[in-house]
Amino acid sequence: MRANRSILSNNRRAFTLVEMLVAIAISIVITLGLYAVFNQIQTAFQKTIAQVDVLEGGRATMDLVGSELEELGASGVSQAPNLFSLTEPQIVSRGDRRRVFRDFFFLTRQGSRWRGIGYWIKGGDDGVGTLQRFVPPNTEIRTLQSRAPINQMIQAFNSAGRRERSHPVIDGVIHFNIVPLDSEGIPWFDRINQEQNARTQEPVQIMMRPSADSPQDPLFAFYNKAIPAYVDLELAILEKQALEQFREMPNPTTKQEFLKRQTGKIHVFRERIPIRTAPTRIADNDGE
């Protein structure tokens, strides 16, 4: 009996060193393959999260600015601006990938109450900034009988103190611009500076002035009863990870070269905003 057990035990073979090395090598290959797949999934997941964050932030910003622009109203006060952008726009990039930072201020009307709102870019000297929303000290005006309160709001918007009255909307902005359009959807930049109101025969003032830096981005102001029928709102945002890398770079030239390579990480938003109080719009004519 003992002899049989000894024979059986001698017939049992353990793994050889070569077999163990082969098994370990196969395990390593499988592990590396699984790691590569997991890493790709994680990278794709992180990119998706970054894109979702930018898309949600961009859409929320477009909804905020667009909803307020829709309420743009004409004060009817002589020489009082309703929509105002007479600060030289900052031309961040030219050519096919032209990028602009434009500040603008406008009046909105809700019932008998008037309110002034402004938008501007903070810290955009290197090409990327933060969109700020400005609310003047006198938040609401019940009756507009003169241009004095409007001028006070605009002076506050154009002063250095506007930082204290502004709140950040979204960071990583590389382009922010508006284009006022007439009732046919043609940019007012291509139109004359002053029109005549056919019903009241009162001057409806629209001022356009060429920009010193970019002729295609003129300064403008709509006075008295003049307001655009539409406004094209443009916004471009850089993804958070690319924004963090950008701000770690000390050299301005390196930053600009970096931005040129981030096409896939820049998200552009464009929307045509109809002004509710505009007398006639394309949509109104199409509905007749």
Q: 288: which 2 tokens?
A: 């007749």
Q: How many CA atoms lie within 13 A of 33 on its CB side?
A: 6
What is residue 17's predicted lDDT score, i.e. its pLDDT? 77
Write the pLDDT tens digit of every residue in 149-190: 888 888 888 888 888 889 999 999 999 999 999 888 888 877
Residue 103 lies in a domain: yes
Q: What is the dihedral angle through the alpha carbons of 203, 213, 68, 50, rounded to the nearest 10 degrees?
A: 160
| Blockwise average pLDDT, block size 10, the chain, 288 residues | 52 72 86 80 65 85 95 86 85 73 90 87 91 82 73 84 90 94 85 44 66 77 90 94 90 87 89 86 41
Residue 7 lies in a domain: no
Planar angle of CA 112, 158, 85, nearest 5 degrees: 70
Helix (H) or strand (E) holding 37: helix 17-70
Residue 204 lies in a domain: yes
Residue 35 lies in a domain: no
* Contact indicator for 131, 57 with CB cutoff of 8 Å: no
Q: What's the domain count of the chain?
A: 1
Nearest residue to 229 (alpha-carbon basis) of 195, 202, 201, 199:
195
Residue 165 lies in a domain: yes
User: CA quadruple 95, 101, 105, 108: dihedral positive or negative?
Assistant: positive
Indicate the pTM of the whole model.
0.76
Residue 167 lies in a domain: yes
Residue 220 lies in a domain: yes
Residue 21 lies in a domain: no
Q: What is the dihedral angle through the alpha carbons of 281, 99, 101, 248, rounded to the nearest 10 degrees?
A: 140
Print the domain residue range for 255: 48-286
Nearest residue to 257 (alpha-carbon basis) of 97, 72, 20:
97
